[in-house]
Amino acid sequence: MSLICLSDFEAYAKDHLPKATWEYYAAGADDCCTRDDNLLAFKRIRLRPRMLRDVAIMDTRTTVLGTEINCPIGIAPTAFHCLAWPDGEMSTARAAESLNLCYVASTYSTCSVEEIVTAAPDGFRWFQLYVYRDRKLSEQLVHRVEALGFKALVLTVDVPYTGKRRSDIRNNFRLPPHLKVKNFEGVFEEHCGPDNYGVPANTLDPSISWKDIYWLRSITRLPIIIKGILTKEDAELAVEHGVQGIIVSNHGGRQLDGELATIDALSEIVDAVQGRIEVYIDGGIRTGSDVLKALALGAKCVFIGRPIVWGLAYKGEEGVRGVLQILTEEFRLSMALSGCRNVSEINRNLIQFAKL
């Protein structure tokens, strides 16, 4: 079977994963309006290509927080990769390492951070973090990943409570007994109450606020990136609180249904930060021209979530590598056809929003 675009991988995963697993990955909150709008919003943007620009030699390299990567495409943090492929996040890490791309490992991994580092010792990795009621849990994770050579912390800020994902409720979704949230192995052994995606319910701290950014800065030397910002007001506060980056994200449409599509929120955030910190984006990126549009609107790098899981479901590491290579080649072609020889030539002059 020849898979030539990301939607081919999606179709394969839908056909081959168990129904509850597929619906867990695919789920959005409530009516899934925001999940779907993440994709539709890219289609409302048109490109204004330039011709006769000598695109014989192309260069997709860029940097994030000073580290060079081969392409401005990274792997967003998503949970439970072992549901899609037996060695899960280890395959994901190896694929990212082989292509010199950034992999953001999820707290809710089914492989431990130690296993991920062992699988891909030379990979470029960030770690996605939540703030828990028991701050020691968060602090211990921070110190573990810092010691293991992770290069940044990605603090998810849009989950004071978990969004209502109807399919997970209908399916009574639970991790199968052979899988665990490996980063918490041994931590919740005594717990026998209800759980929420592999950890005890009410573990997340809904009182999280901007003062916790100062707390996090006090316990680590790693750069801090905030994931889940959608407004210029919060972007300004992020800069004021000394973080190094923002991921414009709505959690794949899995939290507040009806909120902004990420690509629609990007411009005001880029304008607000005025280059003081780096801005990235996830949500709805399915083609190379989507990557081009995001960069033209000011994103330094894009991150993809669900397509990585589709790649895992297809052929593990090879499937993830296939997804990333296809997206990279599509991006290279979109750049060339738009008259951009390198990433620095991509700018807002490429963009026209379609008239409704």
Residue 78 marked ligand-binding: yes
Residue 231 marked ligand-binding: no
For tokens 């951009």, the residue is 340
Residue 166 marked ligand-binding: no
Residue 232 marked ligand-binding: no
Residue 244 marked ligand-binding: no
CA distance 222 to 207: 23
Residue 125 marked ligand-binding: no
Residue 321 marked ligand-binding: no
Which residue type does 330 have?
E
Residue 299 marked ligand-binding: no
Out of 16, 143, 178, 251, the active site residue is 251
The DSSP annotation for 238-294 comes to HHHTT-SEEEE--GGGTSSTTSPPHHHHHHHHHHHHTTSSEEEEESS--SHHHHHHH
Residue 138 marked ligand-binding: no
Residue 285 marked ligand-binding: yes
Residue 25 marked ligand-binding: no
Token couple for 2:
């020849």
CA distance 79 to 197: 9
* Distance separating the N- and C-terminal Cα atoms of the chain: 39
Residue 305 marked ligand-binding: yes
Token couple for 240:
């004021």
Cα–Cα nearest to 81, from 102, 111, 104:
111
Residue 263 marked ligand-binding: no
CA distance 174 to 168: 9
Residue 128 marked ligand-binding: yes
Which residue type does 55 have?
V
Burial group, residue 178, by CB count within 10 angstroms (0-12, 13-18, 19+)? exposed
Region for residue 329 given its phi and psi (left: phi exceeds 0; alpha: psi -120 to 50; beta: otherwise): alpha
241 catalytically annotated: no
Token couple for 134:
């028991």
CA distance 335 to 202: 46
Residue 134 marked ligand-binding: no
CA distance 179 to 191: 16
Residue 217 marked ligand-binding: no
Binding site, annotated residues = 24, 77-79, 106, 128, 130, 156, 165, 227, 249, 251, 254, 282-286, 305-306
Active-site residue list:
251
Binding site, annotated residues for FMN = 77-79, 106, 128, 130, 156, 227, 249, 282-286, 305-306
Binding site, annotated residues for glyoxylate = 24, 165, 251, 254
